Chains A and B, each alone.
Chain A
Amino acid sequence: MVRNWIEYRTDAWVQWCPGCGNYGILTAIYKAFAELDLDPKETVVVSGIGCSSRIPYYINVSGVHTLHGRPIPVATGIKLANPRLNVVVHSGDGDLLGIGMAHFVALGRRNVDLTVILHDNAVYGLTKGQAGPTLPAWLRTKALRAPNYQDAVEPVLIALASGYTFIARSYAYHAEKLKEIIKEAIEHKGSSLVQVLQPCPTYNNIMTPKWYEERIYYINEKYPEYDPIVKVPGERDKKIAEILDKFYKDSDKIPLGILLKDISKDTFEDRIEKIIPGYLKNPPGLRYTDLDGKSLIRPKDVFKDRIVKA
């Protein structure tokens, strides 16, 4: 460990409610960043809008606090303009799976080398407790006027179907285990999803720590033989079948740990290099745009298909 995790703290007042699961995630991030020795200048945390999305102010690296649902497009733009940066997205369940779902799916298709950390409290914290997209049907959490009559989405299954190459689930109060998973997610080359089950003591009075702790188990403890790695493209479907078979049979239990690590696919950046040779050496954020104010090209020498010698 080169940097002390204390160095990643900022002097901003952390404004989450007492006992909020976000604290556990923040601690895990400090320690993961420290253990990976991430350079604050070359690391960017991008978030949407929500309680969880305040996190960039609390981490002493570069931060971009965007719009509700939109951290993924902005993070993708940053990463593609300068692939040398470490880019981590923090997003709430409403942010990522409600208003921002199209981007969540699109990221999986691209496999950009980004890590997405989903702060899943199953409610809309910042707007005072409405039902989030992961709230199971017919639960009636504190702020709801009627039981939730919409079904929940399952982010892990969507991530599997969309092409994410690293998919894991963890629990906010197990900061040490969460840290290890976050480290592995950041080190993975490709789009990673870490769904963090995050108790919201203020609005989610049903999915409490007790509720979670009765249901969660760690894959590597219950199924030590399970190997999440996909090495060749054809194996992915078989792995998904195995995941469904092993971890989705018992709907009362919630498996934690790394569900899938697919190392068979190219990252988006590598794919771009194939169609724009030299992209990685001179990416859009770093390359020259001009020579002392002069254009780098002459239209008549470049756009030959439009030339007519009259």
Chain B
Amino acid sequence: MNGNRVDLGLIIGGPQGGGIESAGQITVRTLMSKGYDVYGTREYHSNITGAHSYFNLRARSDIARSVKLPVDFLIALDAESVFTHINDVKKKGFFVYDSGTSSTKIDKIAPMPKPLKVRVKEKLSKLGLGDTVADAVRYIENKDVKVVGVPIRELLKETAKRSGLSVVSVARVANTIGLAAAFALIGIEREHIEKAITLYFAGKEKAIKPNIVAVETTYDYIKDNFKLGNPLPNGPYQGKLRMVINGNDVVAMGKIAGGLTLQTYYPITPAADEALYLESYRTVEPTDEAKEKLGLDKVGTLVIQTEDEISAIGMAIGAALAGARVATTTSGPGFSLMNEMVSMAVIMEVPLVVTIWQRAGPSTGMATRNGQQDLLISLFSGHGDTPKIVLSSGDHVEAFYDSIRALNWAEKFQTPVIHLVDKMLSGSLKSIDPPDPTKIKIERGKFLREVDGKYNRFTITEDGISPRAPLGVAKQMISSLVHNEYGMVTEDPLLRNQMTEKMLKKIESIEKEISESERYSVYGDPDSDILLISWGTNKGPILDAIEKLAGDGIKVKFFQIRTFKPFPAKALTEAMDSSKVIIGVESNILEQMRMITRMNILRDIPHMIVKYTGRTMYEQEIYFGVKEILEKGSRKVVVSDGA
């Protein structure tokens, strides 16, 4: 924090299923009430209850778009969180923990992964410390961090007394006590957390009172035993109407706003929550104008849970053939199953959006962890020559508008569009201004609602795209076999050539009509000769890192690839040719973006910063990675921060 600029990083850790989700949601709303922009990632195991889970959140008075490590304060809601995050708070920061856990031994924590226990015990024993929480606390204090033990059980009793309820019935507010203690220490006024509680528990009035009493009790305790922090300056967003969403929500919102009428899915992490959010809005209120002019009183979206991913994509294709505006959502394993159908959608010229929430592979890999490993399969999915469009979103706001763009492109070019997003985006929370779908026109391309006389679904045209009447509007033949303009199967070599060349014309139309400027974004210093190239959710940490590098006098330009097909060939070639140091950043081990760049523009990205721990990319990893490459000329920097 310098001057009035606030930049706070915090971690809240606790057991999965133990209210950590609510704790995170309340924290975000508290910081928003204080007027800050907020971004937060969520890490969790592939587990329902018990395993360690945490939010890493960041609040800034300007824009929050990545998380940092170490953080300014940390709330450990259980013993495992103390051990796990032993190194995660910076000097002079606060480490709040439940003093009731002091005597807990690390080996008694069943869910904690063994390799991590070994690493932590090693650190402790190096300082001659034992293996209890109290020892870990001494270790943390040694690093000049202010550790505050909060007697959660006693404060629960006090909360029960003050609210006239039993201790058992207020047990659920334990997390709120942890949060309140931290907020009291760093200087966030009580009213903000109270407002957050009221907002978050709206409709569940019974939950509000004990939480509010717990806040009051905890602030009193901190005031009496430590010292309330000096109030931090308020942020500029106070009083504004904002939204707090995660990536799953915002893609579902984009799809509904973008005119989606049917979505299919088979449950898979981290895609399912998108479909569930969509389903909870399966009927929504249209604008007054739409009500009046179209006579619609409700807008309905059908979400179908299918028997597997093959059926998910198959049903979506069938629905598109009958005129629906469709999408299906999945992750790597599901997309592997969909491949044969991607190829079918290409030959049948079906407008279809496949949203892929990438996670850490190969195979089942780490289902709840991050990765950018599905670029190659997206580009090369489907057997045979199969042109498609592949775009990737860098943050929540992009994901909203990209969801609409993807639907438009699918219908305009009548081919599958693969929208790459990832686990990072899916679970991370972000405060945003409500998005405005009128910024993007909804397009349906050559969609026909009426046809006179005989109709050929696959008429050869200048641009390779045929007028498309759905089933029911015109009698037609749709075939997965090579077919003529009507759709009738053929094995004639010359007709086969004509129809295949029709596909080539379509690729040319895609190249022509999706302008270069829609394929990439450039940030940072345009005149710099240090170039960072990346894609997807590395965007936030990169933007923060280049800001930090600029503070050190190192000017960097950042080229974000937004569509891989069509590829921003011209712009990237120019950017690379005018740079001296070129560094790629991505979250996979094969350096897939580097491969695709070479394939498209015959240029190599000589330096790479890569991460494949399954965790988010951090600002400081890129900051130090760039520095290392500048100083030592390293070919590849592998980064691995984060628990």
Q: Do B471 and A303 touch across chains, with their CB atoms under 8 A apart? A: no
Point out the residues of chain A lying under 8 angstroms from B318, CB to CB.
46, 64, 73-81
Q: Do B298 and A295 touch across chains, with their CB atoms under 8 A apart? A: no
Point out the residues of chain B lying under 8 angstroms from A283, CB to CB.
302
Q: Do B302 and A272 touch across chains, with their CB atoms under 8 A apart? A: yes
Point out the residues of chain A lying under 8 angstroms from B475, CB to CB.
40-41, 60-62
A69 (CB) vs chain B CBs: closest residue = B310
Does B314 make an interface contact (CB < 8 A)?
yes
Which B residues, 17 to 48, have Cβ-Cβ distances below 8 Å to chain A?
A: 29, 32-33, 35
B side interface size, CB within 8 A? 92
Point out the residues of chain A lying under 8 angstroms from B242, CB to CB.
307-310
B203 (CB) vs chain A CBs: closest residue = A305
Query: Contact mask B405-449 → A, CB, 8 Å, 1/0?
Result: 000000000000000000000000001001111100111100000
Query: Contact mask B312-325 → A, CB, 8 Å, 1/0?
Result: 11111111111111
Point out the residues of chain A lying under 8 angstroms from B239, CB to CB.
309-310
Q: Do A303 and B249 touch across chains, with their CB atoms under 8 A apart? A: yes
Q: Do B307 and A102 touch across chains, with their CB atoms under 8 A apart? A: yes
Point out the residues of chain B lying under 8 angstroms from A275, CB to CB.
282
Instruction: Report the Cα distance A277→B241, complex, angstroms.
Output: 31
Q: Do B478 and A299 touch across chains, with their CB atoms under 8 A apart? A: no
Q: Which of B286, B318, B476, B487 has the most CB of A within 10 A?
A: B318
Give the dominant DSSP class at A's interface: mixed
With beta carbons under 8 angstroms apart, the residue of B245, B293, B300, B321 that contacts A78 is B321
With beta carbons under 8 angstroms apart, the residue of A63, A66, A105, A297 that contacts B286 is A297
Which A residues, 69 to 123, have Cβ-Cβ distances below 8 Å to chain B?
A: 70, 72-82, 84-85, 102-103, 105-106
Does A287 make an interface contact (CB < 8 A)?
yes
Does A264 make an interface contact (CB < 8 A)?
no
Does A166 make an interface contact (CB < 8 A)?
no
Q: Do A289 and B444 touch across chains, with their CB atoms under 8 A apart? A: yes
Point out the residues of chain A lying under 8 angstroms from B29, CB to CB.
308
CB distance from A4 to the nearest CB of B (A): 17
Instruction: Report the Cα distance A278→B290, complex, angstroms.
Output: 16
Point out the residues of chain A lying under 8 angstroms from B238, CB to CB.
310
Q: Do A285 and B308 touch across chains, with their CB atoms under 8 A apart? A: no
CB distance from B323 to the nearest CB of A (A): 4
Q: Which of A279, A284, A301, A306 has the most CB of B within 10 A?
A: A284
Known A81-B323, A291-B290; contact A278-B283, beta-carbon cutoff 8 A: yes
Instruction: Report the Cα distance A77→B442, complex, angstroms.
Output: 23
Query: Contact mask B325-368 → A, CB, 8 Å, 1/0?
Result: 11000000000000011001000000000000000000000000
CB distance from B288 to the nearest CB of A (A): 10
With beta carbons under 8 angstroms apart, the residue of A65, A300, A310 that contacts B237 is A310
Instruction: Report the Cα distance A294→B438, complex, angstroms.
Output: 6
Query: Contact mask B437-464 → A, CB, 8 Å, 1/0?
Result: 1100111100000000000000000000
CB distance from B363 to the nearest CB of A (A): 21
CB distance from A305 to the nearest CB of B (A): 8
Known A67-B341, A106-B307, A287-B261; contact A299-B435, beta-carbon cutoff 8 A: yes
Q: Of B135-143, B251-259, B582-590, B629-637, which stretch is located at the interface?
A: B251-259
With beta carbons under 8 angstroms apart, the residue of A80, A85, A302 that contacts B262 is A80
Instruction: Report the Cα distance A82→B326, complex, angstroms.
Output: 13
CB distance from B247 to the nearest CB of A (A): 13
CB distance from A188 to the nearest CB of B (A): 21
Q: Do A62 and B435 touch across chains, with their CB atoms under 8 A apart? A: no
Query: Contact mask A34-70 → B, CB, 8 Å, 1/0?
Result: 0000001110101001000010110011111111001
Q: Do B300 and A62 touch across chains, with their CB atoms under 8 A apart? A: no
Does B281 make an interface contact (CB < 8 A)?
yes
Known A82-B323, A106-B307; contact A303-B437, beta-carbon cutoff 8 A: no
With beta carbons under 8 angstroms apart, the residue of B237, B314, B322 that contacts A66 is B314
B283 (CB) vs chain A CBs: closest residue = A276
Instruction: Report the Cα distance A74→B264, complex, angstroms.
Output: 12
Q: Do B285 and A64 touch across chains, with their CB atoms under 8 A apart? A: no
Does B163 make an interface contact (CB < 8 A)?
no
Does A252 make an interface contact (CB < 8 A)?
no
Does B514 make an interface contact (CB < 8 A)?
no
Does A12 make an interface contact (CB < 8 A)?
yes
Does A137 make an interface contact (CB < 8 A)?
no
Q: Do B477 and A67 touch across chains, with their CB atoms under 8 A apart? A: no
Does B199 make an interface contact (CB < 8 A)?
yes
Q: Which of A42, A79, A272, A291 has the most CB of B within 10 A?
A: A291
Known A77-B321, A103-B307, A306-B245; contact A84-B472, beta-carbon cutoff 8 A: yes
Size category of the binding interface on chain A: 35 or more
Point out the residues of chain A lying under 8 angstroms from B344, CB to CB.
66-67
Which B residues, 241 to 290, have Cβ-Cβ distances below 8 Å to chain A?
A: 241-245, 249, 253, 256-262, 264, 281-287, 289-290
With beta carbons under 8 angstroms apart, the residue of B241, B286, B320, B472 that contacts A300 is B241
With beta carbons under 8 angstroms apart, the residue of A65, A66, A72, A79 that contacts B489 is A65
Does A233 make an interface contact (CB < 8 A)?
no
Known A272-B302, A298-B287, A299-B437; contact A80-B315, beta-carbon cutoff 8 A: yes
Q: Do B257 and A299 touch across chains, with their CB atoms under 8 A apart? A: yes
Q: Do A82 and B296 touch across chains, with their CB atoms under 8 A apart? A: no
Q: Do B261 and A297 touch across chains, with their CB atoms under 8 A apart? A: no
Which B residues, 490 to 522, have Cβ-Cβ distances below 8 Å to chain A?
A: none
Does B294 make an interface contact (CB < 8 A)?
yes
B249 (CB) vs chain A CBs: closest residue = A306
Which A residues, 247 to 280, have Cβ-Cβ distances below 8 Å to chain B?
A: 272, 275-279
Instruction: Report the Cα distance A8→B438, complex, angstroms.
Output: 47
Instruction: Report the Cα distance A279→B282, complex, angstroms.
Output: 10
Instruction: Report the Cα distance A36→B315, complex, angstroms.
Output: 27
Q: Which of B33, B259, B321, B471 has the most CB of A within 10 A?
A: B471
Does B240 make an interface contact (CB < 8 A)?
yes
Q: Do B257 and A297 touch across chains, with their CB atoms under 8 A apart? A: yes
Instruction: Report the Cα distance A217→B306, complex, angstroms.
Output: 38
Q: Do B296 and A284 touch across chains, with their CB atoms under 8 A apart? A: no
Does B577 make an interface contact (CB < 8 A)?
no
Instruction: Report the Cα distance A306→B244, complex, angstroms.
Output: 5
Does A288 make an interface contact (CB < 8 A)?
yes
Does A293 make an interface contact (CB < 8 A)?
yes
Point out the residues of chain A lying under 8 angstroms from B245, CB to CB.
303, 306
Instruction: Report the Cα distance A273→B470, complex, angstroms.
Output: 22
Does B571 make an interface contact (CB < 8 A)?
no
Does A126 make an interface contact (CB < 8 A)?
no
Q: Do B285 and A297 touch across chains, with their CB atoms under 8 A apart? A: yes
Q: Do A65 and B243 touch across chains, with their CB atoms under 8 A apart? A: no
Point out the residues of chain A lying under 8 angstroms from B199, CB to CB.
308
Known A78-B321, A276-B302; contact A293-B311, beta-carbon cutoff 8 A: no
Q: Which of A12, A80, A301 has the most CB of B within 10 A?
A: A80
Q: Do B300 and A74 touch across chains, with their CB atoms under 8 A apart? A: no
With beta carbons under 8 angstroms apart, the residue of B253, B262, B287, B434 that contacts A81 is B262
Known A67-B340, A85-B472, A310-B240; contact A276-B282, beta-carbon cutoff 8 A: yes
Point out the residues of chain A lying under 8 angstroms from B208, CB to CB.
none
Query: Contact mask A139-174 → B, CB, 8 Å, 1/0?
Result: 000000000000000000000000000000000000
With beta carbons under 8 angstroms apart, the residue of A40, A46, A299, A308 that contacts B244 is A308
Point out the residues of chain B lying under 8 angstroms from A80, CB to CB.
262, 302, 304, 315, 318-319
15 more CB-based (< 8 A) A-B contacts, given A85-B472, A277-B283, A285-B319:
A41-B472, A49-B480, A61-B475, A64-B321, A65-B489, A66-B344, A67-B340, A77-B322, A78-B318, A81-B324, A290-B444, A295-B287, A296-B259, A299-B253, A309-B242
Q: Mind listing 6 A-B residue pairs with CB under 8 Å? A: A62-B477, A63-B476, A67-B340, A103-B307, A105-B307, A289-B261
Q: Which 5 A-B pairs have the closest CB atoms?
A: A77-B318, A73-B314, A289-B259, A285-B323, A300-B434
